Chain A
């Protein structure tokens, strides 16, 4: 494999579909009937009518209400738990403690480190200890207040520096050593040579504070263990399949085939409902204990304790570039504050190093990542999982490089674009790649060349600035959460003589419209109205396994599975019809609710009649489709995180208006271009892009998981500072800027009809673009996210005092923890003749040097 000169490649994104695209033999874009049209989502009507039934809207006769008593200490051993007073409260029907569910669980097989209720060790304020079910929610709450918990305090580990410095006490008895959960050290190519050849090298340190999903729906579950010995749980989960596995594990010996998980319509996920949760398992167990349905609805504060949000990450990035700004080497360190449990953290760690190479051609790349356990609510996947923080660092650093070299930041990026149809230094396979077109769109739309650096002053004395940043994201993770060779997504399709088409799929609509994706694709293939199709999803009893709504995998993976099932169904129906009307099956067209002869459209019948004919000839019609992503080119350990069937690309220009006296800024306008491959439904895709801009701006301007750190009577108090809707700041209508959105359609061969992801990618470039825009306006760098007004102010003050016009973590050795990453795993790049394997195999249990 030869690395093309990326400089020549930019903007080469071809609008034409390639001939190897599997959908192309079928219909050309102009002929598509439903795909690419702004049709309603299949569930739109019920959602605007208030008739959609979310988990908390469900009730059952004799239903009990459950509350969890949670730890009030950040780190402690549980010496004793006395629930006797709670048990005496009239109305209390069941009490569970850790000993009732001793089997640990966790989303990843390598980190089965959670308990449904902590048996003997609590690791953050909010860790659950006791579950109580009662006839009324208030009774359960009151009874929780009567439980006596005797804590034995342990030293609290408050962040990455503390975790690196204190090997004891350990939060967990697994991991690398001390409180280090993961250490990764991957070296692709020849770093020394890359820096040797660089004309300019700079090193920066960045901090990205954690933030959370803040779904409007508080997590809720209803569990019912019926008299036939079968358990059903309705839950606001993004991953019913993984919850099913966790329940089977903890509730053993209850077999998995007696457990049914139904993912209810979802009041917001963003990654926050992708783990199996304590309250879900407790509700199930409580129903088994009491023989009654049990509902649990978390309070807003408990939603903050569930968290699994953005990791706080400290980063040091050293970049080498040529005179013309071409990247010759990148040496990237990330230090993740993982919180109390593993969650998806292993994947998160790898993701902080995976996608830097997918936007820009990095010739030589060294990534070192460390994840620590700390006494905070556990971090996990939030929209953009793990790639958001390094993207912030890289895009701000590139802006600085451009500034150092006197090159336009847009040109610098265009000159470094990773080529389409290539393999990166870390063996990620890029297919379609429309970033060049994205950059050109936002540069043109925003008047970048004319307006940047002009420091226009608004009527109220604010200074305008423009900032640009880019990003890329996966269209689904290439590997499942647990190792298996089975499909990632399965679809069953049923047709009957009524003309009804029902699609069954284990996928979960979290508001992004994945149920509708199934309808649109099947409707397109079979030529029927998507709103006539019945979609049944997220039910482990009824629907084939789909891994869940995470990693932007649903459109590509379930879409491909649905397409396969629909094509097979079409083949069956066509066979029947062809025989009946004596026309070759290959000449039949499925469109407008009819099946007809392409050469004589009058000859044909309704879809309903066609299905009846086929059913009469061939028997009951049912088909299946499934999807497994292409095999990765990476064969080294750790190469499993990052590969994807395709990558989306985004570029944005953000405009800010900064008050130089206070540092307060507003964002009046954002230009966003997203390479979506193809928009299956443009209106819905636009909504995903606008929602990503919104969430990105929240992260950039105000959102953070801030902690209180105090001591009291010799005890450390360490807990979330602001676990409320009011004080965890989420932008309102008044903060939302005008958005100019461009969708770049460059169909990808791995996507259904060429589609790539859209739900996460456009969030990524917002934060660095804001930081870069602030610099354009007032010449100060904020190397931390959120880019809050206080930090902008502090940087302006530093500038006015003649100091470094920057706010951020220390640039010297004290800025990052002293961690021995051990020997790197060395992998030759494709252009060095590498084959995706490592040339060495360093020991995994290397001890720290003292």
Chain B
């Protein structure tokens, strides 16, 4: 049986205490929310924190409320199952709700949290393997080794952003709140992530993700479309998050399209976005905008499914995600 390495377990009662413990132990410590990402990684010895700080007893992380200005604020510890059944979400945030439903299996969603999903470790078929397997290839730079097997000449790690919610929350320009010793700070979702498989987050390790705030319903529409082999279990090998802001006559005022599952962060499909703005969403525009995503879809051989095929179908998926914004 694969088992967890030894660690001490902390259950702070509020965010301040959680941050204090994290600060106290520094690199030895990690937060855990649902555990569905961290514990498998610990069993495979990707992460071996000696101090695990559980957020289960931090009440402020379990709340969910509609703010007076119409925005929806969701605590980091709210489970994915709670979210997917939340009527307000289903009514006003269909794209996001769909992304939540697409995560793994119902059993995992009963345990996994939105906070955990936003911070999901990047993935790679050379990394998400047992210790023994990784030993056989002499490891990789993301853990214990020196090389990136995906691009051996590369100085960086190419592990893949694999959260289903990240592309769509980035596209929606959701805001993410963190607690630190100095208090709270808020980031635009895009600013939490960066294009590096190892340092994929811009936050400091002891910073605690407390809440995500989705914009108030309005003249925008978001969608998420996931490519994977099975309709359950699997991580995205491409996750298209799109959000379009429409003028009253249907002209697109602003467009955000993010591609998950192909780079180390939810990559903006800039050319697609540019094509869309100032136009109305016709079938022809959708096709052109999809085709424009071919270039940024620099797929690499580190996920399930063929690398060439993934690149070829990316424009089709982008187009279909845009169509879902109609």
> Which residue numbers of A lie inside 8 Å of B, CB to CB?
70, 72-73, 125, 137-138, 297, 299-301, 661-663, 702, 708, 710, 712-713, 717, 719, 721-724, 726-727, 729, 731-735, 788-790, 793-794, 797
Contacts and interface: CB of A to CB of B under 8 A. Distances in A.
Given A72-B135, A73-B136, 6 more contacts: A70-B132, A125-B136, A717-B136, A722-B304, A731-B230, A734-B232
Nearest to A732: B232
Contacts of B138: 712-713, 717
Nearest to B5: A138
Contacts of A794: 309
Nearest to B306: A790
A732 B3 contact: no
Contacts, number: 79
Contacts of B67: none
Nearest to B2: A299
A662 B304 contact: no
Contacts of B132: 70, 72, 301
A733 B233 CA distance: 11
Nearest to A708: B137
Contact of B3 (A138, A713, A735, A793): A138
Contacts of A793: 309, 312-313
Most buried by A among B137, B152, B234, B316: B137
A662 B316 contact: yes
Interface string B222-260: 000000011111100000000000000000000000000
A534 B233 CA distance: 41
Contacts of A719: 133, 136-137
B270 interface: no
A585 B306 CA distance: 71
A710 B149 CA distance: 9
A137 B1 contact: yes
A699 to B, nearest CB: 14
Contacts of B137: 708, 710, 712, 717, 719
Nearest to A298: B1
A796 B230 CA distance: 22
Contacts of A661: 313, 316
B109 to A, nearest CB: 14
Given A125-B136, A702-B230, A710-B137, A727 B309 contact: no
Contacts of B41: none
B30 to A, nearest CB: 20
B136 A72 contact: yes
B326 interface: no
A734 B233 CA distance: 11
Contacts of B90: none
29 contacts: A70-B132, A72-B132, A125-B136, A137-B1, A300-B2, A301-B130, A662-B313, A708-B137, A712-B147, A713-B138, A717-B136, A717-B137, A717-B138, A719-B133, A719-B136, A721-B125, A722-B304, A723-B133, A724-B128, A727-B128, A732-B230, A733-B232, A734-B230, A734-B232, A789-B305, A789-B309, A790-B306, A793-B313, A797-B312
Given A72-B135, A662-B313, A297 B1 contact: yes
Nearest to B313: A662
Contact of B133 (A137, A138, A301): A301
Given A297-B1, A712-B138, A735 B230 contact: yes
A565 B239 CA distance: 62
B2 to A, nearest CB: 6
Contacts of A732: 230-233
Nearest to A730: B230
A733 B308 CA distance: 29
A702 B229 contact: yes
Interface of B: 1-3, 125, 128-130, 132-133, 135-138, 147, 149, 152, 229-234, 304-306, 308-309, 312-313, 316
A729 B232 contact: no
B133 A734 contact: no
A538 B306 CA distance: 44
B231 A735 contact: yes
A729 B125 CA distance: 14
A722 B124 CA distance: 11
In order of increasing CB-CB distance, the 7 nearest A-B pairs are: A790-B306, A72-B136, A790-B309, A734-B231, A662-B313, A732-B232, A301-B130
Contacts of A724: 128-129
Contacts of B128: 724, 726-727
Given A137-B1, A301-B132, A726 B316 contact: no
A598 to B, nearest CB: 57
Contacts of B152: 712
B107 to A, nearest CB: 12
B134 to A, nearest CB: 10
Nearest to A717: B137
Contact of B125 (A72, A73, A722): A722
Nearest to B149: A710
B320 to A, nearest CB: 9
Contacts of A735: 230-231
Contacts of A710: 137, 149
Contacts of A300: 2
A779 B309 CA distance: 19
B228 to A, nearest CB: 10
A366 B1 CA distance: 49
B230 A729 contact: yes
A201 B110 CA distance: 58
A498 B149 CA distance: 69
A522 B147 CA distance: 64
Nearest to A144: B132
Contacts of B135: 72
Contacts of B305: 789-790
B231 A726 contact: no
A790 B304 CA distance: 11
Contacts of B229: 702, 729
A727 B125 contact: yes
Nearest to B317: A662
Nearest to A723: B133
Nearest to A71: B136
Contacts of B316: 661-662
B154 to A, nearest CB: 14
Contacts of A723: 129-130, 133
B52 to A, nearest CB: 17
Contact of B304 (A138, A717, A729, A733): A729
A342 B8 CA distance: 48
B309 A726 contact: no
A795 to B, nearest CB: 12
B188 to A, nearest CB: 32
Nearest to B4: A138
Contacts of B313: 661-662, 793
A275 B136 CA distance: 26
Given A137-B1, A732-B231, A790-B309, A299 B136 contact: no
Contacts of A299: 1-2, 130
Nearest to A142: B5
Nearest to A715: B138
A739 to B, nearest CB: 18
Nearest to A733: B232
A661 B287 CA distance: 12
Nearest to B231: A734
Contacts of B2: 299-300
A822 B110 CA distance: 62
B137 to A, nearest CB: 5
